[in-house]
Structures are given as C-alpha cells and as structure tokens.
Amino acid sequence: MSEIDTPESFQLMEFGVIFEATNHFSESNKVGQGGFGPVYKGTLPDGNEIAVKRLKARSSQGMAEFRNEVTLILRVLHVNLVRLLGCCIHGYDRLLVYEFLENSSLSSYIFNQTRSPLLNWEHRFDIMKGIAEGLCYLHNFTSPPILHRDLKPSNVLLGRDMIPKISDFGLAQMMETGTTEAAMETAVGTYGYMSEEYAKDNIMSQKSDVFSYGVVLLEILTGRRNHEYCIANPGDSLLDFVSLIFLCILKILKKIYILEFFKKVWRRWKDGTGLEVVDSSFHDDSFIEDQVLRSMKIGLSCVQQNMHDRPSTRTIVVMFENGPRSEILDPTRPNYNLTRADSSSSPVTVTDQSVTINEATLSCTDAR
C-alpha cells in the first residue's frame, strides 16, 4: 500500500477492528454480494457504522479492483459520490471500508413492488439529478477526468433523505487530460448499460457513461429492469419501453446473438402518450406530468446511437436545473445496426455469470 497516496482523512485500518465490527463477517451482517465479493455492515467501537467490501481472496481481478478503487476514489469528494474511509490488507483479504448508507441501493427500490412506492416522484427526480451531478463531477471537475464504466442502479446507493451516491469504482478509468475518448483493450461493464461503440469497438468516452446514465434514468421512470425484462420476454424488451437498443446477450443454440428490440417508449413519447409507460407506483401529489415527460426526453437523448448526439453531463445538469427554460433537442428514433457475433473470429465463452467475447467480459450480475 506504500504506493498509494492517502490523505489524512483516509485510514489504513487494522483487520481485527474490521473483523469485530462486522461480527466476524457474519451472515447476519451481510448486506450485499458484489461481483468480486460480499459487502458487510459493521459498527466501529466509536459507534460509527461502516460498509465493508471483502474482495475475493486469491483473485487477481479482485486485487486489481482494490488498487483501482483506492487510487481513484481518494481523488474525489462530492456529495453524490460514496466516500471511502479506509482499507486493509490482511493475508489474501483485501478490504474496502466505506461510509454506511442506510437506504441500500437504488435497485432495491425501483425494482421492488413493495419498496418502489417509497420513492415518490420528488425523490426520483432528485435522484436522477443527483446522479447526473456526481457523474458531471467525475467528467469535468477531476484532473484527469474519470470514467465510471459501470453505472447502474445497484451501483447507486441511497443515503439519508434518499440522497444518491455513485459507488463501485473498481472498473473506473482515468482519461488523459485533454482527451474525449480512448480505445480500451477490453470492454468491461454490465450488459444492458453499455453503449454500442464501447461494447462492439472498445471505444470508451464520457458519452459512454452518459449512455449508461440514460438507461438508469429510464429504469427509474419505468420501474423495469432492462436485461431481466429482455430475458423473460425475448423480442419484447425494456428497450421497447425506453426506445433504447442495448446489448442483451442470450445463449441460443450455443451461439451469441446481439438482438435489436422495438422502441415502444420512443414511439409513446413521440405520440404524446409517454406517461403510459411510467411506473404507476410513484403517482402521488409530487407527480408533475411535464417534469416526467421532460425527464423521459433527457433519458432518450442520452441513449442515442451516435455518441455525438448524446448530451454531455454538464448539459444534462443544466437541463435539470433550468427546467423548461433549457431547450432539449428531440431525440431521433433509435436505429441500431447490430450484427450477429461471428463465432469463427470471436471466441465465445458462456458461463452462468458472464459472457466473454474476444476476452471482453460483460458482467451478467446486477449486484456488485
């Protein structure tokens, strides 16, 4: 850890302290399961509550995520970004210690019929705006800029008063100062949230994060999880609801097909019937129809096929702050031209948890 610069507010913590705080990493303290290991709730001797991510032992990928997250998250400080309090290396254990956010993840609300009504329209609007502000900070107010690369509802935690905080920087990437895009060796992230140019061509940019944000925004509005809806209803995916074409990977006769789906939400929005696809569970006194439809328009703009047609995070924040005073160009009808993966040139490995194409792993798990 000597190679990682640590500010005074960051602690290199003793394993025994964390071990006792989490009740010996007991199952009763487990609050989540990520792609690289479980997350536990803990209470320090001073009474402060913490969340501890325990990266998988002997995992080279887990070690890479550990170093990446510590290095990057120490560079940022924003109300809409989760705060890393400390870390610990003990044997094969790599532990990341965060502030504990009592309201769990965004996904645990918007995709849960019982909890979804707890997020009324006012909460959802503030959450969409807060996520945009956190992402804008990463893109424009850090030097060099940081790309998150895995934005999704399970990586947005909700604190007191439902304030959203972007979490999980294990796949984040620093950009070279002055650059707007970069070619990555592999495309990493979660399918359904990855832009076409990133998933197909490994071209990553701030606009790729914007695409992911657009998917999250539309999921908040519809209350539907895109990839689960896709698998349950082949050919009639959430993209039908949100006018978004995403990469949904299915195992069909041992071949991988990248499917294009209909664009129902775009059509509904275009026809002036967009409210018909909005999650009915948050219709309350705070519901403002014009604001909902305007948010839908922002989401549709973020998932445009051409990355240059998507707004920047600065522009998205202005759209939310200025409301009707800020003009939003009408999003065009999605027209994605996705082709079947060529098995002769693209070695494909399918597992229960991930799909690898040309060594590019797309995570199929939602919780991380």
Q: State the amino acid at position 2 in one-letter form.
A: S
Known catalytic membership, residue 126: no
Strands (E) across the chain are located at 11-12, 30-34, 37-43, 49-55, 84-90, 93-99, 146-147, 156-158, 164-166, 173-174, 181-183, 189-190, 203-205, 249-252, 255-258, 348-350, 354-357, 360-363
State both tokens at 286: 């705070």
Residue 238, judged by CB atoms within 10 A of its CB (0-12, 13-18, 19+), counts as buried
Contacts 24+ apart (CB under 8 A), 356-362: 357/256, 358/186, 359/186, 360/186, 360/187, 360/188, 360/199, 360/202, 361/186, 361/188, 362/187, 362/188, 362/189, 362/190, 362/191, 362/194, 362/199, 362/247, 362/249
Q: For the chain, how many residues are written?
A: 368
Which of 229, 235, 221 lies closest to 265 in space, CA to CA? 221
Active-site position among 150, 209, 240, 366: 150
Catalytically active residues are: 150
